[in-house]
Amino acid sequence: MPEGGKGFYTNWFNGGKRKDPAWESYFENELMPQVAKRLRIAPGRRNHAIAGLSMGGMGATYLGSQRPDYFGTVATFSGFVEHQRETVAAGFGAVAGVNYEDIFGPMDGEYASGHNPTKLAANLINTPVFQAFDNGTPDPAKGGSGPAAVVELEIYQENLEFHDALAAAGVQVDYQPQAGVHDWPYWRSHLQAAIKWGLFKPDVAQNPTTWTYKTIATTGRMWNLRFAFAKPPEKVATFQRAGATLKGTGEGRVKLTNIATGHRITVNLPFQHRLP
């Protein structure tokens, strides 16, 4: 996963502006199309995987949760996957070099929740997940200590919470905690294990008819539907499809467009609608 700089794959909250620096929009609207344009990318989500380490683990799990229609598998190695923790708040500025609230807004707020992979775990119900992380104790064969051990202890706790959320949502997850610290020898091993696990799975559904999709984005795509809120949502919206029935909870007015047919509806949340 390309590094997120100091942006953490989020269109910065910036006091509610929710725009620049627009890291999230850059990855989805510029980087991904450039990859598809420059490289010979096979169609179908079974041919598209997203993986990342540390900060990139957040990017992979978050972007994977927002574009399940595109990514067939998600892999995270020592990922920063639960940022709404008091331990994160205590050290975020010193480690990241930026203010937490500039990026995510208040730690207990909806914008933070809408960019928290653990809170969005249900979005991955049709996406197999590979999750590797370490317990902060160095492996004698690979070494590492000091700050790398301290960081991995925090990451370890985050990943336990993320795993519990995935399991509760019924997500298929390969869960591999082990000895190690926050350093490259361990991430290289994690990547090798993920490749062996199989990043490109022939059995992932292309267009499932049962799913959950949570988001705080103003516009985006959930499977075969594009959505556009009339105003940036103040709360995380949840959409659930079960066969031909689509339900939405939250607040606001949203336009939904079927990408294949062009059929459009505009509804106020909460709603229940039968898809054509």
CATH number of 14-197: 3.40.50.1820
**Is a pLDDT exceeding 80 seen at residue 276?**
no
Residue 177, both tokens: 């905690």
Give me the pLDDT at residue 143, please. 82
Q: What is the mean pLDDT of residues 2-6?
A: 85
* Average pLDDT value over all residues in the chain: 95
Listed residue (168, 78, 156, 75) closest to 120, CA to CA: 168
Q: Is this structure's pTM higher than 0.85?
A: yes
Q: What is the mean pLDDT of residues 65-75?
A: 98
pLDDT-based confidence at 79, cuts 50/70/90? very high
Q: Tell me what percent of the residues of the chain surpass a pLDDT of 90.
A: 89
Least reliable range by pLDDT among 53-57, 88-92, 176-180: 88-92
Q: What is the mean pLDDT of residues 50-65?
A: 97
Q: Cα separations (Å) of 88 from 19, 107, 117, 235?
A: 23, 10, 15, 22
- Over the Cα atoms of the chain, what is R_g? 19
Torsion of CA 172, 174, 177, 178, to 10 degrees: 170
Q: What is the mean pLDDT of residues 188-211?
A: 96
Q: Whole-angstrom Cα distance, residue 152 to residue 150?
A: 5
Task: Please provide residue 204's backbone torsions phi and psi, each rounded to the nearest 5 degrees.
Answer: -75, 140
How does pLDDT run across 101-159, given as a tens digit for each residue?
A: 999 999 999 999 999 999 999 999 999 999 999 999 998 888 877 889 999 999 999 99
Q: Whole-angstrom Cα distance, residue 72 to residue 86?
A: 33
Residue 234, both tokens: 């103040």
Q: Tell me what percent of the residues of the chain surpass a pLDDT of 70.
A: 100
**Is a pLDDT exceeding 90 seen at residue 92?**
no
Beta partners for residue 138, in sequence order = none
Q: Cα separations (Å) of 67 from 2, 101, 220, 265?
A: 17, 25, 9, 21
Burial of 155-164, coded b for 16+ CB within 10 Å and e otherwise, reads bbbbbebbbe
How does pLDDT run across 207-260, given as a tens digit for each residue?
A: 999 999 999 999 999 999 999 999 999 999 999 999 999 999 999 999 999 999
Beta partners for residue 240, in sequence order = 212, 247
First to last CA, the chain: 37
Give me the pLDDT at residue 178, please. 92
What are the extents of the domains in the chain?
Answer: 14-197, 210-274
